[in-house]
């Protein structure tokens, strides 16, 4: 028995070592540095909780937090609803459904850098395909990425499209895990399609929905690539999000200690939202 345990530990050791080196140690180091004034080079100077107090005096932090929440509220509910109903459609016996599944999933395997550059061109004022389509209806071109009123909306639309296939595949896996006899029994009882969705599909999909919501929310809070490439946080600060704010503080202004403090606050915000979702979905009922 002990030999079997040793073999099992040897198999999981590489993953545990990688997890320790690239997850826990950086997190501990971040927490440690958050109490110092450190400009990446030179010796750190201990400040105590001054970095944390400074965060709540910085108006730019709250602008970045507000933009992050706007992005999350724009991407998560709309994106997951579209993914869910797309999964329901592609779960039916349709001709060519495998092709459609592949087409919808394709953006998920392309990096955010490539997708952001492509959509940046599509949003172009003079030669962008989106404005070309708008001009067909005799409407004026929209400065999608250079207008404070539309910059965040443009990023949200792109992100929904990018994540649509990934979330759809997870929902599809959950739908295919529902026993067919439950629908057959409901059909015998005269249950209509809407009642099947409300009374059967959604309750049995609860664990899958919880997983997708948490992952989607965490990913939306971590948004950076598309903001950095498409708008650089602008125009003004209209599309600056928390991760971009942390990046600026750490690498543009060399305030590594302050950036680490913001990172810790950021971690706590995500943790609170995650725990709220577990409470909202009533995890004990899922088990």
Which candidate, 152, 160, 23, 153, places its Cα nearest to that of 84? 160
pLDDT of residue 157: 95
Residues 145-163 have pLDDT tens digits of 999 999 999 999 999 999 9
pLDDT band at residue 284 using 50, 70 and 90 as cut-offs? very low
More confident of the two residues 20 and 159:
159
User: Can you tell me whether residue 127 is helix, strand or coil?
Assistant: coil
Pair 173, 155: CB distance under 8 Å: no
Please tell me the least confidently modeled range out of 96-100, 124-128, 194-198.
96-100
Structure tokens at 94: 């349709």
Who's near 167: CB < 8 A, 6+ residues apart? 79, 80, 83, 84, 212, 216
pLDDT of residue 65: 95
pLDDT band at residue 3 using 50, 70 and 90 as cut-offs? low
Pair 184, 248: CB distance under 8 Å: no
Q: How far apart are CA 238 and CA 139, in angstroms?
A: 25
pLDDT band at residue 73 using 50, 70 and 90 as cut-offs? very high
pLDDT of residue 203: 86
Q: How far apart are CA 165 and CA 163, in angstroms?
A: 6
What average pLDDT does the segment 234-239 reach? 91
Q: How far apart are CA 94 and CA 90, in angstroms?
A: 7
Q: How far apart are CA 43 and CA 36, in angstroms?
A: 10
Its pTM stands at 0.88
Residues 33-62 have pLDDT tens digits of 999 998 887 888 898 899 999 999 999 999
With a cut of 90, say whether residue 104 has pLDDT above it: no
Domain 59-286: which CATH number of 1.10.3720.10, 3.60.21.10, 3.40.640.10, 3.40.50.620: 1.10.3720.10
Pair 283, 210: CB distance under 8 Å: yes
Who's near 59: CB < 8 A, 6+ residues apart? none
Q: How far apart are CA 283 and CA 276, in angstroms?
A: 11
pLDDT band at residue 239 using 50, 70 and 90 as cut-offs? very high
Structure tokens at 81: 């609803």
Domain ranges of the chain: 59-286
Residues 258-274 have pLDDT tens digits of 999 999 999 999 999 88
What average pLDDT does the segment 83-87 reach? 91
Surface-to-core class of residue 123, CB atoms within 10 Å of its CB (0-12 exposed, 13-18 middle, 19+ buried):
buried
With a cut of 80, say whether residue 106 has pLDDT above it: yes
Structure tokens at 191: 């249950």
More confident of the two residues 159 and 10:
159
């Amino acid at each position: 028995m002990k030999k079997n345990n040793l073999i099992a530990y040897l198999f999981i050791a590489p993953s545990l070592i990688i997890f320790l080196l690239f997850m826990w140690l950086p997190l501990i180091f971040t927490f440690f540095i958050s109490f110092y004034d450190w400009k990446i080079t030179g010796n750190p100077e201990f400040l105590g909780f001054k970095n944390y107090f400074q965060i709540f005096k910085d108006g730019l932090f709250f602008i970045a937090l507000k933009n992050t929440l706007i992005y999350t509220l724009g991407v998560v509910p709309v994106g997951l609803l579209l993914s869910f109903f797309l999964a329901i459609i592609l779960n039916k016996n349709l001709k060519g459904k495998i092709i459609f599944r592949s087409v919808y999933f394709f953006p998920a395997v392309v990096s955010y850098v490539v997708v952001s550059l492509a959509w940046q061109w599509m949003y172009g004022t003079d030669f962008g395909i989106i404005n070309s389509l708008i001009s067909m209806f005799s409407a004026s071109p929209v400065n999608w990425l250079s207008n404070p009123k539309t910059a965040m909306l443009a990023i949200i639309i792109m992100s929904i499209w990018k994540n649509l296939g990934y979330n759809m595949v997870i929902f599809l896996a959950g739908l295919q895990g529902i026993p067919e006899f439950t629908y057959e029994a409901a059909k015998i009882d005269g249950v209509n399609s809407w009642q099947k969705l409300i009374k059967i599909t959604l309750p049995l999909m609860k664990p899958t929905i919880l997983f997708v919501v948490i992952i989607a929310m965490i990913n939306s809070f971590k948004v950076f690539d598309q903001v950095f490439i498409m708008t650089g946080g602008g125009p003004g600060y209209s599309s600056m999000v928390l991760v971009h704010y942390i990046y600026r503080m750490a690498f543009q202004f060399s305030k590594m200690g302050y950036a680490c403090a913001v990172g810790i606050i950021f971690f706590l915000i995500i943790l609170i939202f995650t725990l709220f979702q577990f409470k909202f979905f009533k995890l004990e009922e899922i088990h």
